[in-house]
Amino acid sequence: MHSEKSKNIGIRLIAMLLDYVIITFGVAIVGIIFIGVGVIIFDNLNLPSSVDLLFTVLSIIFMICLCSIYLNKDAIKGKSLAKRIFGLIIVNDKTGDIAKPIETCLRNVTLLFWPIEVIFIIISPQRRIGDYIAGTKVIDDNKSLNTKISKRQIIISMLLGMLLIITIGILQFAIFNFDVINKILKASL
């Protein structure tokens, strides 16, 4: 039993790290290409500042989409690329069915606090904080579960991911600019 738990911990940690590396490098490569092309196009054309503003807004939207993809890395059939490699799957803790895309998105929000999640994986190899929030767990994939893909659920989950990222961004802005916001509010009263 102890060796099985150690094996599960090791696989979960390696899968988590591999997912992180894949997504980080994927986002970095795509981001560098996007920003590089934008800089080449916009810097060499001497366009008005409104076009610069448009590029900035498009860059922010693009990054929100990339972050939503990270939150939804497990949305297709309850598996990320690393989970497919290691034969793992995310299931609903109560029903045992493959986790819905929205459940996988919710469970991945806590990856923003990944050091805490690593500690939870060591303590509980099948369930991390995100699993408790979403009502999911990770199990070995024996390929017996129904793997029907709901495009509608994936789209809704992507939109939820974008909404979550925007909300986190607004909260982060508010926290780091609390003094400025406080001054504005006092001036308006």
Question: What is the DSSP code string of 79-130?
Answer: --HHHHHHTEEEEETTT-SBPPHHHHHHHHHGGGGHHHHHHHHHH-TT--HH
In sign, the C-alpha dihedral spanning 33, 38, 39, 41 is positive
In sign, the C-alpha dihedral spanning 172, 178, 179, 181 is positive
Q: What is the pLDDT of residue 131?
A: 94
Q: What is the pLDDT of residue 145?
A: 75
Pick the more confident residue, 112 or 160. Answer: 160
Is residue 90 within 8 A of residue 98, CB to CB? The reply is yes
Q: What is the pLDDT of residue 42?
A: 66
| Integer angstrom CA distances of residue 17 from 80, 85, 150, 158 | 12, 13, 27, 22
Task: Count CB-CB contacts under 10 A for residue 5.
Answer: 13
The model's pTM is 0.76
Is residue 133 within 8 A of residue 106, CB to CB? The reply is yes
Asked whether the predicted pLDDT for residue 118 surpasses 80, the reply is yes
The two three-digit tokens of residue 117, written as one number: 């999640």
Task: Count CB-CB contacts under 10 A for residue 93.
Answer: 17
Q: What is the pLDDT of residue 7?
A: 57
The two three-digit tokens of residue 36, written as one number: 């590089």
Q: What is the pLDDT of residue 51?
A: 65
Reduced to 3 states (helix: H, G, I; strand: E, B; else coil), residue 124 is: coil
* DSSP tag of 136: E
